[in-house]
Chain A
């Protein structure tokens, strides 16, 4: 499996000297799914932020698709981030625009698409997350599960090769959480690499995959039991 993401001796410290983790080494292949686990405060969100270029590591290198993103300048970071799919526990939808406009925002930021093509992609992304025909709805009228689906559609609409999800089911009940996991499995089935941070063991157990477990300032890479060879 070709490596899409490679973490090499990644350290992160916050002043004044608070160490989140040190010498984290891990690799994610093309089309691979990884659970990022660990207790609260272990650094799951921080690691995802480092991979997304939201924060910079104190030491070490992060290669995405062969490119060392720790060397990217502030000007180059937005272009890099346009090729990622980012999903957070809070769907972070813009309340002053429709569902379709929220989903289309990723495409607007990337630019270069004609209106018809953009609308077609938005409709397709909404259909993929089970919100066909809800484009004109207002985010305030969505349930928690629907809002999470809109956030996933927004992350997928631009066709990213790597999706990073930080506790995407944290605010949802068990049934909805499994629905959302189903979407991630579906995304992964299309060959998109996915990292999902979660501490929901029942959810993790339901989908065998690589597990990056953060503990004692280090990451332990393991396979979830039952993971296909």
Chain B
């Protein structure tokens, strides 16, 4: 069987002699991909928790206790976009809920003194933009059958801000780690090219194209990238366990169900495509650049 030029240099013997630099490279690329993957897992965990808790970030209507009013409010909310759902509470039920919220015991005399009107709790879609939500509540406030509208905008905004912080940190960290990974791959490839410069000079004299010279390096990069993806895959359960341990106090503090899910298909695709692609793309760029430099120097 005809073995391609690049693969002949990657025979089992060559793999046994995998240098320390390659092992380090695999670990760095694996880390550069596994850490963003963990951040995405964290983002997913927080996103799911907030979606479940979206009832808390709600708009509260205060209204009279008439059945007609409830029907009119139903009609208004049905026509409104970005509303996830709503619950009506009679004045009595609202008073009980408010007393429970204040932590008053069932026997507490203060319960009877609370003057709470009938309410409707509206759950907004978490994806609804803040400006759109503000417009909508302003319109509801104008409605003649709605006495007042309380919008717990702060809590909703806090949730969104936390989510955005995690998401943006994820993007920044991903970029930093990918940049660091690329820099380390570039250094390793550059070093290998410097060692092979005499051989490259001979190949160039014999008419080798850039593609021919590049092929073994790209195959090497793909192999190391594949190994890095496997290592990153093995690191993910460890990272998830650490994430679960780290989130446990927060879960208790915020009373949020923070479920850390197992790596999804998209995450594994990111690892198994991302690692070889990152390694191969960086290698192609570095080899092209170095060959161009060698050519310029020889001219």
Contact between A105 and B205 (Cβ–Cβ < 8 Å)?
Answer: no
Q: Is the interface of B mostly helix, strand, loop or mixed?
A: helix
A interface residue count range (under 10 / 10 to 19 / 20 to 34 / 35 or more): 20 to 34
Q: Considering the complex, give the chain A residue whose CB is closest to the CB of B208.
A: A109
Contact between B2 and A79 (Cβ–Cβ < 8 Å)?
Answer: no
A216 within 8 A of B: no
Q: Choose among B2, B199, B201, B206 the residue with the greatest number of A CB atoms under 10 Å from its CB.
A: B206
Which residues of chain A from 84 to 135 have any CB-CB distance to chain B below 8 Å in the complex? 84, 86, 92, 94, 96, 105-106, 108-111, 114-115, 118
Whether A105 touches B1, Cβ cut-off 8 Å, given contacts A55-B299, A74-B295, A94-B199, is no
Whether A105 touches B2, Cβ cut-off 8 Å, given contacts A55-B299, A94-B199, A96-B199, is no
Contact between A105 and B3 (Cβ–Cβ < 8 Å)?
Answer: no
Contact between A109 and B2 (Cβ–Cβ < 8 Å)?
Answer: no
Cα–Cα, bound, A106→B205 (Å): 10
A163 to chain B, nearest CB (A): 13
Contact between B206 and A106 (Cβ–Cβ < 8 Å)?
Answer: yes
A92 to chain B, nearest CB (A): 5
Q: Considering the complex, give the chain A residue whose CB is closest to the CB of B205.
A: A86
- B201, B207, B295: which contacts A81 (Cβ < 8 A)? B207
- B201, B203, B209, B295: which contacts A105 (Cβ < 8 A)? B203
Contact between B199 and A110 (Cβ–Cβ < 8 Å)?
Answer: no
How many pairs, one residue from A and one from B, have CB atoms within 8 Å of each other in the complex? 51
- B3, B201, B203, B299: which contacts A115 (Cβ < 8 A)? B3
A209 to chain B, nearest CB (A): 25
A154 within 8 A of B: yes
Contact between A80 and B207 (Cβ–Cβ < 8 Å)?
Answer: yes
B16 to chain A, nearest CB (A): 16
Cα–Cα, bound, A82→B207 (Å): 5
B171 within 8 A of A: no
- B3, B198, B207: which contacts A109 (Cβ < 8 A)? B207
Chain B, residues 2-31, CB within 8 Å of chain A (1/0): the string is 110100000000000000000000000000
Cα–Cα, bound, A79→B208 (Å): 8
Cα–Cα, bound, A106→B207 (Å): 8
Q: Considering the complex, give the chain A residue whose CB is closest to the CB of B8.
A: A101
Contact between A109 and B206 (Cβ–Cβ < 8 Å)?
Answer: yes
Q: Considering the complex, give the chain A residue whose CB is closest to the CB of B196.
A: A96
A6 to chain B, nearest CB (A): 21
Cα–Cα, bound, A43→B70 (Å): 101
A sample of 18 more A-B contacts (CB under 8 A), given A80-B207, A109-B207, A111-B212, is: A54-B205, A78-B204, A78-B207, A79-B209, A81-B207, A86-B206, A92-B201, A92-B202, A92-B205, A96-B199, A105-B203, A106-B206, A106-B207, A109-B209, A109-B212, A115-B2, A115-B3, A154-B206
Chain A residues with CB under 8 Å of chain B are 52, 54-55, 74, 77-84, 86, 92, 94, 96, 105-106, 108-111, 114-115, 118, 154
A-B CB contact pairs (8 Å), 25 listed: A55-B299, A74-B295, A78-B204, A78-B207, A78-B208, A79-B207, A80-B207, A81-B205, A82-B206, A83-B207, A86-B205, A92-B198, A94-B199, A94-B202, A96-B199, A106-B206, A106-B207, A108-B5, A109-B206, A109-B207, A109-B208, A109-B209, A109-B212, A110-B207, A154-B206
